[in-house]
């Protein structure tokens, strides 16, 4: 009986050692996978040329764009890199971002456009739109605001479209 107990204890200890060894191997695999993922996240890539990769910041040798961390690339709604978006999807995303930016600038008091649907030109050129203040001061407005006034889209009904001026070639704020 003593001998059977010794064999049972020995088998149990062997099984326990084997289980611990298996568990340790699984943990190592998980850690190696996480380390590999982190190393991949430290790669820099071009948003337009996904095949260009670097372990440090720089510029794309194909197009000259700045390389960005692969983990920080612009993604579309489905989580794909922006480079995989169609031109129509890119334009839709750009319009949405421009609208969000002009809304934020308006809330911050930096965007005081003089037409009903705010212009995009000033946002893109200056990240502000002083056209309404310029208009009230008798100064020219941006060409996009001028066009809006000529189409009857002016916000201030006291101002006549014929009184609105622009300088197509010299417009600056």
Q: pLDDT tens, 21-72? A: 777 788 877 766 555 554 445 788 877 777 888 888 888 887 777 778 877 6
Burial of 126 (0-12, 13-18, 19+ CB in 10 A): middle
pTM of the model: 0.49
Among 90, 92, 88, 51, residue whose Cα is nearest residue 70: 51
Q: How far is CA 31 from CA 7, 26, 40, in A?
A: 36, 9, 14
Tokens 């934020």 label which residue? Answer: 104
Q: How far apart are CA 94 and CA 88, in angstroms?
A: 10
CB 123 within 8 Å of CB 101: yes
- Please give the pLDDT value at position 12: 62
pLDDT in tens, 117-132: 888 888 888 888 889 9
CA angle, residues 95, 140, 129, in degrees to nearest 5: 35
Q: What average pLDDT score do residues 71-97 get? A: 71
Which residues are 154's β-sheet partners?
A: 115
DSSP for 41-58 reads: HT-EE-SS-TT-EESS--
């Amino acid at each position: 009986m003593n001998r059977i107990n010794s064999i049972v204890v020995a088998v149990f200890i062997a099984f326990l050692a084997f289980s611990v060894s298996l568990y340790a191997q699984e943990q190592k695999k998980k850690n190696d996978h996480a380390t590999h993922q982190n190393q991949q996240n430290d790669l820099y890539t071009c948003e337009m040329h996904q095949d260009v990769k670097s372990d440090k910041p720089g510029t794309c040798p194909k197009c000259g764009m700045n390389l960005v961390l692969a983990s920080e690339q612009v993604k579309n709604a489905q989580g794909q890199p922006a480079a995989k978006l169609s031109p129509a999807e890119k334009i839709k995303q750009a319009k949405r971002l421009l609208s969000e930016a002009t809304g934020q600038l308006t809330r911050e008091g930096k965007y005081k456009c003089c037409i009903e649907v705010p212009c995009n030109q000033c946002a893109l050129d200056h990240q502000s739109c002083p056209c309404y203040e310029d208009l009230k001061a008798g100064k020219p407005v941006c060409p996009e605001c001028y066009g809006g006034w000529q189409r009857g889209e002016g916000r201030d009904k006291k101002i006549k479209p014929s009184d609105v001026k622009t300088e197509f070639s010299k417009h600056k704020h």
